[in-house]
Each structure stands twice: as C-alpha cells, then as structure tokens.
Chain A
Amino acid sequence: MDRREFLKRGSTVGLAAGAFLTFGDKINLFANSKTSNPQLYDLVAIKGGEPNAMFDKAIQSFGGMRNFVKQNQTVVIKPNIGWDTSPERAANTNPKLVSQIIKHCFDAGAKDVYVFDHTCDNWTNCYSNSGIEKAAKDAGAKVVSGSSESYYQKVNVEKGKRLKETTVHELILESDVFINVPVLKNHGGAGLTISMKNLMGIVWDRRFWHRNDLHQCIADFASFRKPDLNIIDAYSVMKTNGPRGVSLADVISLKSQIISTDMVAADSAAAKLFGKVPSEIDYIRIANEMKIGTMDLSKLKINRIIL
C-alpha cells in the first residue's frame, strides 16, 4: 500500500457502509437497447459550417438525437478536455459543439447529461480554459471531475489482448447513453487522436497503455464499451505538435465533422480527412482486424454534406 492509498483509505473510513451500499446497482453495462432502430446511414460527414450548425444538420441523417437518447435516460458526454489551452488552439473539443450536443440530448428527453474527461493537465484549469465547463453548464449539463481515482471502477476487457482489465469512470458504467466527442488532431505517440484514442480519457491508468503497446491497448479498449455515438470535431484541426500543440500556428480550419456509431469507420474517415492512410495508423488497422468496426469505407452508407 503506497502513501496515497493509505491516506485515501483512511479518509474513506468515515464513509462507512452507506456509500458502499449504493454501488451495488452500478454495473448496468448492457442496459442499452437502442440498436433495434434502423439507421439511414452508417456515417455522416459534413463540412463548411459552424460546429453547432453542422451538428444540427448531420444528426438528422441519423433520425435525430431521439434515435439515441430516450425519455428520462442519463447521458454521459466525453469530449477531449485534456489540455490547459484556449479553444482556438484546438487541443480540446470545440465548446460550441459540446453545448449543441447537450441541447439535443435534453430536447430528446434526457434526464441528466454529464460531461467529464480524465485530463492530462490540471483538471480545473483544463475545464475552465477549454471553455467546455462554461459551455456545458450553460447548456444544463453537469460537469464532473475525471481526476479522482475514487470514481474509477474495475472492469474486464474480455476481447483485450494486452489490456485485459482496467478501471473506468463510473459515469460511463452508470449512464444509459455514452456519446464520444473527440477532436481530430495530430498525436506524437499514436499518430492521430480521434474516437478510439479519446477513450483513454475514461480510464484511470493510462501509463499501462503506454508501456504495453499503445496501439494494441487502444484497439483492445475499443472493444470494451462502444460509444452509442461518435461525433468527431474537425472544425479546427491541429496538424502538428499534437496532442497539446505549441501555438495557433499548429492549427488549420477544416470546418468539418464526422458522425458514426462505428468508431473504426469514423476514425478511418477522419484519418483520410486529415490526409493520412487509415491502415497506417496501427490502432485503426488492429481494431479493424479485431472486427470492432470496419475501416473499409466503401462498404458503408455514407452521407456526405457540403454546406
């Protein structure tokens, strides 16, 4: 037991049984049954508008948010809030997009919408300086810390090759609907960070991934809990020096967005948009081989919208 563990245990003793009794009903992983709805498209790509306007338009191709969020359900939205930088630097998801998604969730009847990320930089700074905390709160969502180990619960990754178990933020396990909202950007270690890579922000121990074949772990974890919807923000895109970036010079304006329920397809499309070959991003290739999704876009029904 290390020092931190010791102190934490000490401080939780006071909680006694009361807190633990409520943990019983937290494992409701497979409580979602929204797959029955036939979708018009597998993937939507849109460009040329503001993030909120593009989302309004693109989500229609999926029959609107009602197809994903039912009355009185709880929703967890996972943007990328990893870095203590301003929105223009595009290291984090666009706050306008996050806000618009939250509004759609409430319009569809969501009871609660939670927003969190396990940030890399100091979480309170990331939340406020990314503009996401304010945007999310103004839209009515609850903004929760992802930087406390106590929120993370142990899960097994059944199909994982290198990553067989990890701890995951309880909101992911408890919420009815999970919406993944990554920002597309360059990444020094993984090549690109998009949907699958964004899920590193819902686990506690990321260092394990880094020292146990990063690409394999990203693909492994993609098999754990597929988000109900992946909305890729490619409005401003960090082309180099990612994932944190150094200055505004790293960023170009692509004014695009990609939405899909298939993370592998979404990441493949986003990789092409970025100018990369999907199969050259190892985790996309591995996830395709593991049949977590498909990177063969030719087999998909894609709606391409240019505003």
Chain B
Amino acid sequence: MDFIFLKKIRVIISIVFILSISIIFIDISFSIQSIFSQYPLYLQFIPSLLKFLSIASITTVGFIIVIFLSLFFGRVYCSSICPLGIFQDIIIFLKNKFRPNKFLYTKSFTKTRYFFLIIAFLTLLFGTSIGLNLLDPYSNFGRILTNIVRPIIIGTNNIIAFTLESFNLYAISPMEFKGISIFALLFSIFIFGLVLLLSFKFGRLYCNTICPVGTFLGLLSKISFFKIGIIKDNCIKCGECEVACKSNCIDSSNEIIDFSRCVGCFNCFEVCPSIGISYLPRYSKPKIVNINSDKRYFIKSLAILTIGSERLLKAQQKIEIYKDSTKPVLRKFPVSPPGSVSISNFTENCTACHLCVSSCPTQVLQPSFLEYGLLGIMQPLMDFKTGYCNYDCVICLQVCPSGAILPQNILEKQLIQLGKSKLIKENCVVYTEKTDCGACAEHCPTKAVKMVLDTEINKKAPFITDDICIGCGACEFACPTKPYKSIYVESNFTHAVAKLPKQENIEQKVDYKEEFPF
C-alpha cells in the first residue's frame, strides 16, 4: 500500500507541535501560557512520565499514549511530537535546500545509546531527575528557547520600544532583563550547538545516540505491531530510500531496516519509485539484544557511582547568597516554587525545562546553579534578588508539565508557606540608622511582616508573624539594605500551610455632613 500521505500528515502535526510549544515559551506578554500550555505538552514523554509517577491521573497519561503509538507504529513520536526532533528536521530540511542530503546506512552506536538510557533510568531510580534533566529532548528544547531565544526576543522588543520612545510613542513597553543564569545559558548553547552540528552533518544521530527517549521508544519499536520494511518483490534496489533516511537506518543493498532507529518521518515512502518500502505487520522476528558481561559490569559500577555521589552531593545543600557579606544571609535550602510540595518532590520531578521560568511574570523563578546540589542543576528556584512571588498568580502551578509543581487553585496557593521570613536586626536600617523604613512591611501581602513599635529604640520596626507568612519573598526583594538584605525567607524543606491573614474591623460610621477637621 502506498503510504505517501503519511509524510504530509507528519509534517502538519509536527508544525503544529513545534509552533505551539515555541509560542508558550517565548510569549513575553504572559497571556498564553496559563490557558494553553497543557495541550501541546500533554504528550511530551518525560514530563508526562514524571507527572504520572507523582500524581497518577488522566491528566498524566500522555506518555502511555506515546508508548501505545510506538507499540503500533514505531517512533512516530520522534518526528511528530518531540520539539527537539522537529527542530532537527527543520535544520535538515533547510540544509537540503542548499546541498541535497545524501545519507547512507551506518551501524548503530548501540553501546552509547544504552549508556545514556541507563543513566537516565538509574538516576530516576535513585530519586533524582538529573539524568532526565540533562538528556530529555523536550526540556533541552525548552531551555534553548528560555535561555537563548527568549532573551533575543526581549532584546528585539526593547530595541523597538526604545526606537518608538524616541518618537514619543509608548505603545510597546520595554521589558527588564532580570538576570540570566550563566550555567543554564552555556548548557543550552552547548546542546543547541551539538544538535545543530549533528543534524547538519549526520541527520538524526543525536536522537539515535544521546536521546534516552529515542532509545527507549526504539526498544518498543523493535516489537511494534507495524514496522517499516522493504517489500522484496517491489524493490528495484535503487537505493533512494537509504539516501533519504536521516536516521541512517536503511540498508538498501541488504534490504534491512533497523527499525529501532527509525524516527517515523516517512521520507522513504515519498522517494520510493516502486512502493518497495511500506508499513507491514510484524513479519520478521525482533532481534534480541543480549546484554553481555561488559554491560553488566558497567551497570553495576554505574549504580555504585550513582549512590555514592548522591550522598555526597546532597550534603552540600547549605548555600550562601551575597558572598561578601559581613552578616551574610544564610539559607539552609533554596526556596522551591509554590506547588512543589517539598524540595525533594521538586528535585525528583523537575526536568528543568524552564517553562515556569519563561512564564513567571515577576521573573522570581530563575534557573539554579548548585543551590539544589549538583543533581539539581538548572532546576528553577525562587530568586528574591530578581523578584517575588505574586500573591494572586498561579501560572507556574498551571504550566508545569512534569508534576514538579502541582496544580493548586488560587486560594490554596495563597496559603502555601514556602518558607518563613527572618529579620537580621544587625542589617536593618531601623536599628542601624534609627530611621523609618518599612519597605518589607509595605510589600507584604498578608501583613505577616508589620511595622510595630519597638520600645527599645522608639521606632517602628519589622515584626514577623510566622504562621501567616507564606514566604513569597516580597519583603526580601523590597529590603533596601545592601549588599546584604536585612530580611530573608528561610526555606521550608517541605512546604507548610499558612493561616489566613488576620482581619481587623474598622469603625465604619462616617458622618458625611460633619465639618472638616481643619
């Protein structure tokens, strides 16, 4: 049967996915993410898998759909749904316009493939998402958009805004850059460069050597119900399919297809002049991959290494911000986003796709460096130097695709206590300068920080009511002392539930006919 139409369908679906995912990452008006993000992200394999492990519900079964798809048709995910895969297809497509692609069959880098898959699997097993964090294609694509593309778009927006401003036009507003994580930027550039180079030179080599999702779905496609195969009676051995195969998995001279590497792009159907290649029901027995003793040894040593390093790395979670401080602000843990339940839940489930970073209107969410330990690298944290958590905002809780941040409604979110504010009297101007300030109390949405008369100095000083503090960081952000803040949020490792803010009843009797008091 002629399946050429499948390529057209693949192209259309892939364009829909890459465009919608790109838009939610680069929308700088913050209007799309919260209403739209769950649809294109529903089928993203790793986030969906992690969310399922975190909360099993109908909203998390996207990865199961992908598994079934693969069991029927092979790795169609890789060409139609995965944004990093689609991105590579675009590069290959564009390159083909200038210098036509001539791919040839190559052998599989089997050891490398399973090495990365095992790393991803083992790290997940040991309760950290570091392997998926670094290797998940969706998250890498998200980081490229967040850390490279988005700043370029903001910069362009600002250049337009500044230009218009010089003509006294204020229709477009500039956006403040509030810090870029150097490591996340460098890592994104590295992955971007690697993907660019590999796809430019070797087609889908990244997907068939490094990507653990590709390798896992490749295992499934070995036993898939339908497989792409060469119909010997029709094949004229022209080799067109091999030349067109960006996965280098068609050996036309021997009429063999390594279906575990096939990304389901259907380009071979299109170029075949004789319907010599097609989807066929499983006609050949799947080859069994024997795990040889080398691999066994390797897995063992890897497991030991992982356990050991995890212990070692979790020990260095005590972080210091404002390093030059004489009265430094010491936090036992970084502050994790609302809805993340606890630092362990967050670091176990976050793949650092940075969608929450992209969609946070106050930019308080920033990629971390080593604050969560090496295993939590690039996972976002609440950075109260750049902003504070908006009391009435739940966007990060709505967009997180991996269950690292769980959805909560606004009333629940307003009671999530990320941490508790702590005052450092030695830094506070009310105590050091004996002048009024109140910046912290001013910004506090619950009045957990309030200016109360301190009779010792006869000045109103910050007074903190712990149980209504939600740890939003407004006080810390607003605190004017430098370089060391006088008030900061001490993180709750496991988030707590705050009490409702107190209400004071004010005398409402006003006589509108009464004379003015002056």
Contacts and interface: CB of A to CB of B under 8 A. Distances in A.
Interface of A: 3-4, 7-8, 10-12, 14-15, 18-19, 21-23, 45, 47-48, 84, 114, 120-122, 124-125, 129, 142-145, 147-151, 174, 187-191, 206-216, 239-241, 243-244, 246-247, 249-255, 268-269, 272-273, 275, 282, 297, 302, 304, 306
Given A12-B158, A145-B173, A207-B482, A244 B444 contact: yes
B438 A47 contact: no
Given A206-B480, A211-B481, 11 more contacts: A18-B163, A142-B170, A147-B173, A187-B438, A188-B451, A207-B480, A211-B433, A216-B435, A246-B446, A246-B503, A306-B512
A18 to B, nearest CB: 7
B173 A255 contact: no
8 contacts: A15-B162, A48-B513, A120-B478, A125-B390, A125-B393, A145-B174, A247-B503, A306-B512
B447 A214 contact: no
4 closest A-B pairs (Cβ-Cβ)? A189-B438, A207-B480, A145-B173, A210-B480
A122 B510 CA distance: 34
B512 A247 contact: no
Contacts of A23: 166
A76 B480 CA distance: 28
Given A188-B451, A213-B433, A246-B503, A47 B179 contact: no
Contacts of A147: 173, 176
A252 B501 contact: no
Contacts of A15: 159, 162-163, 166
A244 B443 contact: yes
Nearest to B444: A244
A252 B393 CA distance: 27
A214 to B, nearest CB: 5
Interface string B425-456: 00001000101111101111111001100000
Nearest to B179: A3
B175 interface: yes
Interface string B44-69: 00000000000000000000000000
Contacts of A84: 390-392
B439 A189 contact: yes
Interface in B357-406: 361-362, 390-393
A306 B513 contact: yes
B437 A239 contact: no
A306 B516 CA distance: 9
Contact of B30 (A124, A174, A273): A124
B507 interface: yes
B508 interface: yes
Contacts of B282: none
B435 A148 contact: no
A4 B179 contact: yes
